[in-house]
Amino acid sequence: MKDDIFVHVDDKLKADSLKASQIDRYVSCFNLFLEKDRGLAPSTRHRHCYFVHFFLLSVFGPRKFLINKISPQDIIDFILSYSEKRNAEATRNMVSSLRSFFRFLKIKNIIDSNLAYFIPPIPCQRSDRLPEHLSKQELNKLLKSCNKKTAIGVRDYAILLMLSQLGVRSSEVIKLTLDDIDWNRAEIIINGKGAKKIIHPLFQDLGEAFIAYLKNGRPKCETRSFFVTTSSPFRGLSGPSSIGSIVCNALKRAGLNPRKKGAHLLRHTLATQLLRQGASLQEVGQVLNHQHIDTTAIYAKVDFERLRLVVRPWPKGAKFGGTK
């Protein structure tokens, strides 16, 4: 007969194993919801599930797992504890994941009330820095840095031109397939966030860059991915970081050293150019596929020429603080 202490340990191990499997089951269902109902990308789903798994383990670590017993105070205590050791951006990401999880629980009628309403907003301090972007001369220098006599150069030139002309995200470049281009109508379908499909015009020079890549840069392979690796086994480029590396390498070749060096640099560049050409913030937001105008508003700070038009001249003889 086992000693009482070993019986207690066995019971605890069984309880912990059951609790872990229950948490995993909820996280798996949540992941499926994010994929099928929300259409989120794998990287976004992974981030949400990571935070939810961490939250559930933290809340139910010392007690029995009952999903409908989560209280608003549990949520507040967890957020306070988490934020003490993390910066505001990490805390905002975690809070966003929890809101999504509690909406999921409510939609599926797993809990009675939507606990997302009890999650406090995390203050967001907008940076005073201007969005990093390239001038027209710098962009031309960047594009010319590609050696179009090589397969890699032809591919990278087409990617850089796509980023700078359409303002797409690196993940949207990755998801482009051979079937997404309608050559007859000169259109290109972009698979955006949330399973959105956005139709862009295929500009002539971008279309010519794509044709040059298909003829001289893209190897024969089975994958339908448009942009593929240049060495065997040939497969579609994987992960947004691969696009970021292409931009970074081009910047280095061109002798350019902006503070931000990823693919978003060219997205910011297009937005800035559109504003300076007279486009409204709403129009820029539509091109960039922003869901909220607040996201686009950061670009208003770089439109110096139009800002000068609304500056009123200081009255002659006037002093700061008024005249006597």
Quote the DSSP letter at residue 51.
H
Q: For every one of its 324 residues, what pLDDT tens digit does the chain have, with 9 covering 90 and above?
A: 444 443 333 444 344 566 678 889 999 999 999 988 888 878 889 999 999 999 998 888 767 888 888 988 999 999 888 888 888 878 888 999 999 999 999 999 998 888 888 888 776 555 545 568 888 999 999 999 999 999 999 999 999 999 998 988 888 999 999 999 999 999 999 887 767 788 888 999 999 999 999 999 999 999 999 999 988 889 998 877 889 999 999 999 999 998 888 888 988 888 887 777 776 666 666 666 665 555 555 555 555 545 455 445 656 555 544 444
Report the alpha-carbon distance of residue 290 to residue 194 in Å, rounded. 12
Q: State the catalytic residue, choosing from 106, 193, 200, 253.
A: 193
Q: State the catalytic residue, choosing from 99, 261, 264, 268.
A: 264
264 is a catalytic site residue: yes
Q: State the catalytic residue, choosing from 106, 200, 253, 290.
A: 290
Report the alpha-carbon distance of residue 9 to residue 17 in Å, rounded. 12
Q: State the catalytic residue, choosing from 48, 53, 133, 169.
A: 169
Name residues whose C-beta falls within 8 Å of residue 98's C-beta, 6 or more positions apart in sequence.
51, 52, 55, 75, 79, 116, 119
As its CATH architecture, domain 136-308 has: Orthogonal Bundle (1.10)
290 is a catalytic site residue: yes
pTM of the model: 0.60
**Beta strands of the chain (E only): which ranges?**
181-182, 187-191, 197-201
Q: Do 4-118 and 136-308 fold alike per CATH?
A: no
Domain ranges of the chain: 4-118, 136-308
Measuring CA to CA, which residue among 65, 43, 55 is closest to residue 98?
55
86 is a catalytic site residue: no
- Using only C-alpha atoms, what is the Rg of the chain? 26
What is the fold, at CATH topology level, of the domain defined by 4-118?
A: DNA polymerase; domain 1 (1.10.150)
Torsion, Cα of 48, 49, 53, 55 (10° steps): 10
